[in-house]
Structures are given as C-alpha cells and as structure tokens.
Structure 1
Amino acid sequence: MPVRDGAKKSLIGVIDDGTKTVRFVIYEAERSEELVSHQLDKTEVQPQEGWYEQDPMEIIHHIKVCAENAIEQLTELGYTKEDIVALGITNQRETTIAWDKFTGEPLHPAITWNDIRTDSTVDAILAKVPDRNKNYLKNISGLPISPYFSALKMRWLKDNIKTVRRASRDKRLLFGTVDSWIVWNLTGGPHGGLHITDVTNASRTLLMNLETLNWDPMLCRLFGIHRDSLPQIRSSAEIYGTVKDGSILDGITISGILGNQQAALVGQNCLQAGQAKNTYRTGCFLLYNTGTRRVQSTHGLLTTVAYKLGPDSPAVYALEGSIAVAGGAIKFLRDNLKLIKDVSQDTEHIAGQVFSTGDVYFVPALNGLYAPYWRKDARGIICGLTAFTTKNHIIRAALEAVCFQTRDILEAMNKDCGMPLSKLHVDGWMTSNDLLMQLQADLTGIPVLRSTSWDMSALGVGVAAGHAAGVWAVERWRRHATPSHTFLPTTTDDDRDARYTKWKMAVQRSLGWATTKKSITMTGQKRKNSIFTSFDTLTPPDSRKNSWEIDNVPIEKPPTDEGVDNSIEELIQYSARKFSIFVPLKAPKDEHTILDDAEYYMNKKECDYDMCQCCQSKKKLLTDWKTIEEIIENDPEIIFDSDDNPIVVEQRNDPMYEPTPVIGNSLKKRMQLEKIPVIFKNICNKLTETSLT
C-alpha cells in the first residue's frame, strides 16, 4: 500500500498502557485514524480478594514487543522508523510502582488503581485529620481520602513491604505511577533515566496541590512520603527527553504524557468548557471540562487537571466521576455466574431478547461504590427478582447499571456546575454495544455521540505529543469535528425518572454490607498514648496475658527501625511458646504535629513556591524541604497487626539501638542487656554459640 495521498506526513508513536492491555499505535500527524498498531494482553494477579497486581517488568517488555511489531508494519505503507518524530505515553492512572533507583528493579508488583487493600491505611490517615473527614484534603488536592488514589498505595508499601522501607531509609526509593516507570526506563533507567510525571497523573496521587501544580509539603508529610522519591511534575506536552534504552525506539523524542481518561477527553475534542466525555471500559470515567476554573465539588465528584498543553500554557481543569465497575460487571456475569460465554457477542444479543429488566436492578458494587457515593462498605446486589426472572433480565440489568451510574455522575455535575449537559461524547470497548448506547441515551435524556474509534486515549496523547513537536496544531484540531454516531433518547421523562428512583432504592440497599471492626486509630484513642503491641495478636491492656513484667524483669520497648532492629523478635520466634508483650509508650506531651501546619500550607500562594513572576528573587519565600523531610522521617510510623489494624509506633532514635554489621546469619546489636528478660537470654544461649552476656 503506498503512502496515503502520495505525500509523507510526520508520524507520532503512542504507548498506551491500559488495565488489561499494552498497545503501541502510530498516527499520521493531524489524522485521527490509526495508521498501524499492535497490542498484547497483560497478566493480572489477585493474591487476595480485592487485591490486584501487575508485573512492572512485563509492562516494559510488552512495550518493546508491541513497538517492534508496529514499526515492522510501517514498511508496507512506505514509512520507516525515522519518520516517527515524537512519542506520547498514556497510562492507567493511580496504579503505583515502587522501584530501586540504583538497580532499576521493582520492589513490589504494581498495585493497580482498583485495588482496595489500603482500607486500613485510610482509617489510619483519617484518624489524623479533624473529625475524620474524608473530604478534608479536597480543597488542596481535589480528592477525597480513598483507597483509589496513589498516596494511600505508597503509604501501604512503606508500612508493609520491608524492601520498600529499607530503600526509603537508604535513599534508594523511587515512587511513581505507570507513566513515570515507563519514562524512567525508556530514558536510561539507572543510567540517568528521567524521573518525571505530568500534571494529570500527579493530580491523581492525593499529593499535588491543584493551585501550585507542585507536590504539597503538608500532604507529603501527612502521608509520610519523601519528595525525593517522587517524580518531577511537568506539563502534558513538552520535550522531555529521548529514548535511550537500546530498543527499536532508541533516539525518538518523548513529548507527551497524559493519564488515559484525560487523554480521551483531548481525543474526543472536548477542549471547550462545558463539554464532557465518558469512557466505558472495565471501569467508567466521566470528565467534564471546566476550563481554567477549578470547581470544588460538593456532590461527591473529583476536581482534577484535564491537561496542560505546554510549560507556559494554563492548566485546564475538569470534574470527574469514576465508576469502579462497568465492563467488569459483564465479565463478572461471564466468569463468576457463567451467564454468558462471550462479552462482546453475547451481551447485546441476550439482553435484547427482553424489552425490559422485568423490574430487576443490579448494583455492581463488587469493590465498593466510587463517585458520587464513595462508600467502600457497599457490595453488589441483584434485587427485584420474581419467579419470571431469567438470565436475560439480569444481563440487561447489568447494562442498565452502567447507564444509571453514569446518570448519578451527571446529576452531581449538574448540581456542582449549575448547567445541564447537552450531549455526551463516549468511547471505550463497551460502546460497540448499540443496545447499551441506546439505553444510555434513554436513561439520561440527552444525545449520546459515539466516536469512530473505540479508543480515544491514544489519539489524545498523540495530539499532545505532536503539538509539542510542532507537527500537530491543537487549534486546528479544536475546530475539527470528529465524525460520530448519535443515539437520541426515545423514552419520556416520567418513565426514565421512575426507573432512576428505583435504582436509587437499590443503591441504598447495597450500602453497609462490608462491616469491619474499627481499628485502634478509629476508636478515638489518642495518638502517642498508651498503645499495646504484640508480634502476633493484639490483646487489651487488662488481659491476664499481658503484664508489665516477665519473670519480674521490666521490659523495655522493642526497637522498631523498619525491619532492621528485630533482635527481640528473632528471639521470640525461636522460643517454645510466643509471648505477648504489653509495651507502654511515653506519656503524651504537647508537641508540634502535622495538623498544626495545615492552615499554614493551605494559605501558601505561588509566591511562596517561587512560581510567580511578581516578586523579586530575593523576596521569594522558599520551602524548607530539609526541615519537612526531617519531620517526615521522625513522624510516628504506622504498622499493622495480623488483623490489618493500624498501630501508631514512635520512632526510636537511641544510639544504644544502632545496628552493628551482620555476623553469620544473625543481626547483632548493642542493647541494654540488663533490660532483656532472663528467659530470652537462656533461649539465646541454648540456640546459639554466642552468649548475650
């Protein structure tokens, strides 16, 4: 096949890392149709219920394989690799990776965006904020305190993974979302790789200040994350660097980064305030462009950065509603209930055999409900079953559930912005289902415009990368009307409102199912007060199992130096039985805490961050990051017992507990020997050749 139109155009390569697949797509500049592409499925591991992990090295491997296959196809079209002038990256957001900056090895599998293992961490953070208000940080970050966001995943990794804690202590730790991991590896990895992210991905971490577009010192301290481990925040469209990994992409300029939902907003050409798009994939994500104005939602939506197309361009913001389970509900019916065999072919056909759901409602809160409810205690229900209900009704109810959840978000956006949406742009693999699209139009009462391509994320970041490289004019793209298929509403207002009312009834019945025991930090017990700890289980202070002494020898608090000072624990694990130890902490004292800084940091302006143009350099106030990082280092750590209950533990900065070099297979440390119980000394003398005394 010859070059299209007989003339070569500059090419834009795009890496598209989704939840399930990795793709490499190549576009001709200023054309919305894919030229060539290749994709591979990713392996997702679920070690426990609600936990989802991916292999970071597999992501890098798939990118290289997909790029090789896509570029091989170019020769048939009259192009070569040298025609690719820019590379864009779009990625699954909130998915978090920790790695060693000297070796490049991941320290733990990537924790994906829909993972809910951080429930206990959320409780521990909520215990630190006034009234345990999950929306306390929304004025700074635009986000509620939820397991969804990256800061909670970073905190969980530091609290629970020894290799991450040690890397943090040794200043070797790097945190990032998938875009940071990809760029770092492509630009050299341990040999000078760029540790960067863009504003759209950074705005999903719960650590970025939406006003300054920089990491917020108070938020970093609250979550205990060092700024040195975080990537530098850049705009969504600029020249970042070139690929230096020895792969087929070597030498290509990287010039665009966008989170996948923000990239779809650009790809759908929703570049004017008041336009919105919805992407139907495993989850569902609706973004409403609010222009350069930040709208603080009071109805359960998120304020996020839509894009920033250049270092000197203003940031454009959006309201977002996130649905945890959309296409995932259909896959649940296939994999768990065995109601269908093929999602793409059977769903529309089977659901279309009935004219309604028969008053059946399916709330797919399999991992809790996201926007606008933000209820992690919600669980999925199917209600309204009768003797005449068939699988056809349940499958149709699953499709309607996606539409009802979308209407939930549109209702909230209308209340926040005061202006109802006139049309909804849609994309994602689920949009190939005509019945779903018609149901969406019927249940929202507005036209639904389906894009010509099911994946607009790759196109959106291709526009951003081409814009930075000077081969794709955004203004021309803004005026360009993308062809689409329109679905118009066919139901009355009374009918859709009656069905929506019953949906809300079903949602109420799904709440409160996942009841968990309140953790120590959520029961009202003050921080730094008397906290008891055991190496296996937690028991109350008045239990007979606990005492102030063992064998009439007083116990000194065991050291808690992040998995290094574990001598007493090592003794316990070799003993004939395990001892539960009651450890009183020091009496509470008034001291400066993180919350004392909240008002100070929330009132800081661009001048204070050296980002303004109005002040002389000598007058600008610079943040004392060294002091803040020292506070983070010395702030009490949060550890977890066997029941996942968080325990606040004071750091021990005592030279008597400094570790000594490793001798043999055991760690020997200088301790206060007279404080160790006699029974432990006897155990150690019997099991080792070296006496403690």
Structure 2
Amino acid sequence: MSGRYVISIDQSTQGTKALLFDKNGVLMCRCDVAHKQIINDLGWVSHDPEEIYENVITAVKGVISKANISPELVVSVGISNQRETSLIWEKETGKPLNHAVVWQCARAASICERSEIKEIEAYIYKTTGIKLSPYFPAAKIAWLLENTMGAGKLADNNAICHGTMDSYLVYRLTGGQVYATDYSNASRTQLFDIFNLKWDERICSAFGIEVSNMPKVMDSDSCYGYTDFEGLLSEKIPIHGVMGDSHAALFGQDCCEKGKTKATYGTGSSIMMNIGEKPILSKNGLVTSLAWGRGGHVQYVLEGNLNYTGAVITWLKDDLGLIENAAETEKFANEATRDDELYLVPAFTGLGAPYWNFRAKAAIIGMDRTTGKAEFCRAALECIAYQITDIVKAMSEDSGVTLSELRVDGGPTRNEYLMQFQSDMAGCKVLVPNQEELSGIGAAYMAGIAAGLWDDSILSKLKRTVHEPTMDEKKVKSKYEGWKKAVETVNK
C-alpha cells in the first residue's frame, strides 16, 4: 500500500475541510472552504446545500493540489458531518429544494407542540433515546416538507429525499446512486428506533414523514458507493466511512470500549461515553444514541450537549471586548484573585444538558469590588469545565462507570489552565491529543480500516499530554458546590 492516501471530508457548521492522510495515518495537509451563514430577521439559521457540495469538490481539489500528489493515489474517502442540520432534495436530479435548516435553528418549535406529537412524547423518548425537541431533524424535516413549494407532491410520489448532510453528500458524490445514512446520524434524527435499528413508522407518521422516503441505514464502515469528485479522479474510489462529527471524534479518540469517554470543546461541546452494545436510557437528562455500526455490530453512547463553551470566550472577546484573542484568557485566569468566588452561568439560550431549562437566563454570581477582567476571564474558563463535569457525573450515575480519564479535543484544549481545572473538577485524568481534527481523523481512520489500508492499531497512534488532579479535595468540593448553587439561581 506504499504511497497511497485517504481523504476525509469534515463538513461542519462553519465550513468544509478536506484532510489528506498518508499510508501511516499521518495528516499531511488540509484545505478549508467556508460557506455562508444565512440568518434572517426571525433568527432562522440556514445553509445553501448547493454551495456546500461545491465546496466539498473545491476542498478535495485543493488538498490534493497542496500535497502535490497524483489524484490516482487516493484510495478511500470518509465523511464526517454536522449532525442535525436537515435538508430535502429532488430524487431525480439531486437538486436541493430549499436551504438546509441548521442544527442551531429552532424554527420548527411549533411542530413539537402539536397534539398528535405531544401525545406520543414519552413514546418518542423510549424509542429514540431523545427528548422531544425542535433541535432534531424530525421537526426540521417536517417543517421543510410543509414550507417548501412542491415538496408535498414529490413526497407523495416517492420522488423526494430528505435527511442529514451526510446522506445528501453521499447522494451527490455518487451521482444519485446511493441514498443512505449511517447508524450514528440516523440515531440523531428522532425518527429512528435505536433498539430495533429501523425507522419508526409511528413517529414518522406523527411528523408527516413517509418511511419509504427515508434513506437506507448502513454500518458506518460500509461502502457508500463510489465517486470521482466530478471527474477529478480517472477512476472512482469508495466512500468507506460515514459518521456524525461527534461520533467520528469518539472513534478518532479510540473510545471503542465501554466506559471510554471524550469531550469535544468547540463553540459548544459534545460529551460522549461509549456504553457498549446495550443501550441505557438516561435518568439524568442525557441522550442515548448509536456510536456507530461496524462489521454488523452497533455500539451505543450516552451524550450531553452544551451550547455555550467556547462560545463563552467569543462573547468575552466580541461582545464585551475584554480580550483580543482566546489565548489571553489563560494569562488572565492565572492572574485572578485566588480566593475569588465569581461564577458565570452561561445560560444565554437557556440551560442545556443535564438541566434542560430553556427559560433560564445567564447570570454572573458572586461579584464584589475586586472583580475585574482577570476574574471574568477565569470564571468564563471555569464555567466550561463545570458544565462538562455536570455531564460527566450524570454519565457515571447512568452507566455505573467511574471515569479514570477523559479524552478531549478541540481548540480550547490548548488552554493549560482550562485543562488542569477540568481534571481537578472531574476528578480524573484529562488526555489532550497532539492533533485537533478528531472528527476528520475518525472518519479517515474508519475509511482506511474499511479499505484494508490499516487495522485498528492505527487508533492508538495519537500522542497525548496528560493532566492529573492536583487541587485539594475540600477546595474541589467547595468550588463545585458553589457552581451548583449558582445554577440553582437561574434554574427555576
């Protein structure tokens, strides 16, 4: 296999990355292409699917050009995608019928309030592992079908496709030959029975969606058809790995055994624990999903999602003007008054997991006359760790597994203060990898293993920096109790 390469396409909220990996699984180079964030006067967030597809082709061409390799040496492709973003397109042409509804967008909230849906709310949770919410594709697809001209007729004639970004990209890259999604993405739609591994007729019907129009669900390491990237390659190559971005990061972190847990620090955060081959419905405000399917077997995860982690630092910089760049927060945190008891509860759009109170408002608790920029920066960093600790504790309670380590990824993991504080609060080792693109790495490794280039030993390739708890236990207890009291002030 000398001289052969794998490409992964990481299609995220802000843009599309193409990453090129060599025969040893080393990331050689990448090409990033941003797409427009379409936000209207109502605050609806949309993406143009056609622009995203064109950017995929541009990014792949760009990464091959930057690496200065022959396109014919690329032997397999993997895809990771922004998960809940939903879209509809015409089956015959592959043409999008409307802009995609982005995962952040809550325009479909009224659909979740309909009586025919509310009356099966408990059934939805017990079947899908997900609490009823417009965050998920079920309501988003229903909204698109109802508000897109001609969509209803196409749906009646089985001439429409709808789903998440992975299924759209597979469809376009294969010239309409493959209409499929993987278990990880299917499990996030709120339409999929995670116990019996099939689209649920009753839930689909309640949302006005025909099961016959849903994509085929396949193992994440299946062959999703072949592509030449619009003629870039002389011969078509297999798309051999498809996963939602958080699941791909879990795989890239080698969290393939029960109890292994990762936290992705981005604008928001996804914290996932592998719970093995048997699902557990959370009693503590978490979601149960499928990690992936491999070789005919599936694994499950518990997951908690946070809307404001890295976004808190952006708020400090862009809205308050307290810092010029994110790196400054580490310096200021170390300069802050040691006995300061300032807490920031970043409930700017309510409290997410594990509280789920969307009426809650953000708050700053514990200010005094000595509170300044340094204390604000430290509170902003610490609230990230507190929120993730909330979810880690809920996962341990649901699963019965006490964490010995937390594998982390994302830009904020470069912040030494945050990583050490995270280790202290969570009471476990925090492992920071030497690479950041874990979603892209996970998709590439899935594709390369499936294509026979590597075996599972490639997953242990990452080198990691380890942070271990050093804070006095009494201080940890006091600080975390202070956080819980601060949350209580807004969680009413």
TM-score category of the 2 structures, normalised to the smaller one: over 0.9
- Per the TM alignment, residue 441 of structure 1 is displaced from its structure 2 partner at its CA by 1.0
- Per the TM alignment, residue 41 of structure 1 is displaced from its structure 2 partner at its CA by 2.3
Question: Corresponding residue for 1:253?
Answer: 238
- Per the TM alignment, residue 73 of structure 1 is displaced from its structure 2 partner at its CA by 2.5
- Indicate whether 1:198 and 2:182 are aligned: yes
Structure 2 counterpart SS, 1:387: coil
Q: Is the 8 A contact 1:309 1:464 kept in 2?
A: no
Question: Corresponding residue for 1:666?
Answer: none
Structure 2 counterpart SS, 1:278: strand
Determine which structure has the larger strand proportion and give its number: 2
Equivalent residue for 2:110, pick from 120, 139, 147: 120
Structure 1: how far apart are the matches of 2:469 and 2:81? 33
- Indicate whether 1:36 and 2:36 are aligned: no
Structure 2 counterpart SS, 1:334: helix
- Indicate whether 1:334 and 2:317 are aligned: yes
- Indicate whether 1:212 and 2:196 are aligned: yes
- Per the TM alignment, residue 481 of structure 1 is displaced from its structure 2 partner at its CA by 5.6
Equivalent residue for 2:14, pick from 11, 20, 24: 20
- Per the TM alignment, residue 261 of structure 1 is displaced from its structure 2 partner at its CA by 0.7
Structure 1: how far apart are the matches of 2:388 and 2:57? 36
Structure 2 counterpart SS, 1:338: coil
- Per the TM alignment, residue 92 of structure 1 is displaced from its structure 2 partner at its CA by 0.9
Question: Corresponding residue for 2:452?
Answer: 470
Equivalent residue for 2:357, pick from 361, 375, 378: 375
- Per the TM alignment, residue 203 of structure 1 is displaced from its structure 2 partner at its CA by 0.4
Give 1:610-689 correspondences, 5 Å limit: none
Equivalent residue for 2:416, pick from 427, 431, 434: 434
- Indicate whether 1:493 and 2:473 are aligned: yes
Structure 2: how far apart are the matches of 1:117 and 1:396? 35
Q: Is the 8 A contact 2:224 2:239 kept in 1?
A: yes
Structure 1 counterpart SS, 2:223: strand
Instruction: String of CA shifts for 1:220-276, please: whole Å, max 9, x gaps.
Output: 112221123321111100222111552425612111101111111111111111111
Structure 1: how far apart are the matches of 2:151 and 2:321? 40
Structure 2: how far apart are the matches of 1:193 and 1:393? 56
Structure 2: how far apart are the matches of 1:30 and 1:316? 27
Structure 2: how far apart are the matches of 1:163 and 1:490? 61
Structure 2: how far apart are the matches of 1:135 and 1:228? 24
Equivalent residue for 1:320, pick from 300, 303, 312: 303
Q: Is the 8 A contact 1:64 1:247 kept in 2?
A: no
- Per the TM alignment, residue 49 of structure 1 is displaced from its structure 2 partner at its CA by 5.9
Unmatched runs of 5 consecutive residues or more in structure 2: none
Q: Is the 8 A contact 1:357 1:396 kept in 2?
A: no
Equivalent residue for 2:333, pick from 351, 355, 379: 351
- Per the TM alignment, residue 501 of structure 1 is displaced from its structure 2 partner at its CA by 1.7
Structure 1: how far apart are the matches of 2:85 and 2:173? 19
Structure 2 counterpart SS, 1:98: strand
- Indicate whether 1:235 and 2:222 are aligned: no
Structure 2 counterpart SS, 1:239: coil
- Indicate whether 1:225 and 2:209 are aligned: yes
- Per the TM alignment, residue 159 of structure 1 is displaced from its structure 2 partner at its CA by 3.5
Instruction: String of CA shifts for 1:150-172, please: whole Å, max 9, x gaps.
Output: 11111222334445445434543
Structure 2: how far apart are the matches of 1:491 and 1:170? 63
Equivalent residue for 1:413, pick from 395, 406, 410: 395
Equivalent residue for 1:268, pick from 233, 253, 271: 253
Give 1:94-105 correspondences, 5 Å limit: 94-105=84-95
Question: Corresponding residue for 2:436?
Answer: 454
Structure 2: how far apart are the matches of 1:229 and 1:127? 20
Instruction: String of CA shifts for 1:395-447, please: whole Å, max 9, x gaps.
Output: 22111111111011111111111121011000111111111111111221211
- Indicate whether 1:107 and 2:97 are aligned: yes
- Per the TM alignment, residue 30 of structure 1 is displaced from its structure 2 partner at its CA by 4.3
Structure 1: how far apart are the matches of 2:98 and 2:422? 40
Question: Corresponding residue for 2:171?
Answer: 184
CA 1:126–1:431 in structure 2 vs 1: closer, same or farther (change >3 Å)? farther
- Per the TM alignment, residue 504 of structure 1 is displaced from its structure 2 partner at its CA by 1.7
CA 1:127–1:357 in structure 2 vs 1: closer, same or farther (change >3 Å)? farther
Paired letter, 1:8: S
Question: Corresponding residue for 2:141?
Answer: 154
Structure 1: how far apart are the matches of 2:269 and 2:55? 25
Instruction: String of CA shifts for 1:517-556, please: whole Å, max 9, x gaps.
Output: xxxxxxxxxxxxxxxxxxxxxxxxxxxxxxxxxxxxxxxx
Give 1:395-406 correspondences, 5 Å limit: 395-406=377-388
CA 1:125–1:118 in structure 2 vs 1: closer, same or farther (change >3 Å)? farther
- Per the TM alignment, residue 126 of structure 1 is displaced from its structure 2 partner at its CA by 7.5
- Per the TM alignment, residue 10 of structure 1 is displaced from its structure 2 partner at its CA by 2.5
Structure 2: how far apart are the matches of 1:127 and 1:246? 42
Structure 1: how far apart are the matches of 2:421 and 2:42? 32
Structure 1: how far apart are the matches of 2:473 and 2:386? 14
- Per the TM alignment, residue 287 of structure 1 is displaced from its structure 2 partner at its CA by 0.9
Structure 1: how far apart are the matches of 2:286 and 2:46? 26
Q: TM-score if structure 2 supplies the norm length?
A: 0.94
Structure 2: how far apart are the matches of 1:18 and 1:399? 24
Structure 1: how far apart are the matches of 2:153 and 2:138? 18
Structure 1 counterpart SS, 2:301: strand
Equivalent residue for 2:482, pick from 502, 507, 517: 502
Question: Corresponding residue for 1:609?
Answer: none
Structure 1: how far apart are the matches of 2:35 and 2:335? 34
- Per the TM alignment, residue 388 of structure 1 is displaced from its structure 2 partner at its CA by 2.2
**What root-mean-square deviation, in Å, do the aligned CA atoms of Structure 1 and Structure 2 show?**
2.1
Q: Is the 8 A contact 2:249 2:441 kept in 1?
A: yes
Paired letter, 2:188: R
Structure 2 counterpart SS, 1:461: helix
Structure 2 counterpart SS, 1:106: coil
Equivalent residue for 1:82, pick from 68, 72, 76: 72
- Per the TM alignment, residue 106 of structure 1 is displaced from its structure 2 partner at its CA by 2.1
